[in-house]
Amino acid sequence: MTYKYCSHYTRSSSTHATAQRLSVYALRHLLGDQQTNPPQEPPVSAEDVEECCIAVEEGLDYVYRRCRTNDKTVGPLEIRVVKAGTFEKLMDLFIAQGGASINQYKTPRCVKSKAALKLLNANVSSCYFSPRDPAWNA
């Protein structure tokens, strides 16, 4: 049996679309039977990731959910699954820029650097969007 979970993530806020959008970059991690070399990742169910989008959106604050559901000023949350090794490349980039030592490095929770966003976007293997608005009560 194989279990899936998100081992690393970071996010960015996109303003190049009609409405702002929150994008989450996530690395899928697998546990279980890995008989192939290198291990082959089984396909991700789009429905499972879309439900994850909804769960994340419903966990965000009242203002986000109002802007997304009522005001329509925020677009659907996007989860971008990145290839294995992407977060190591991101670490190398930030360390090379002199931002941290390797012993003190921690994956940033929000990325604004154009170079970092370019690296993340170049390593996206699949994208998923929230299929519906999150729950919101006026």
Mean pLDDT by 10 residues, the chain (138 residues): 56 66 78 49 76 91 94 92 90 86 87 93 93 89
Q: How many Cα neighbours within 13 Å face the side chain of 13?
A: 7
* 73, 19 Cβ separation under 8 angstroms: yes
Distance CA 80, CA 125 (A): 7
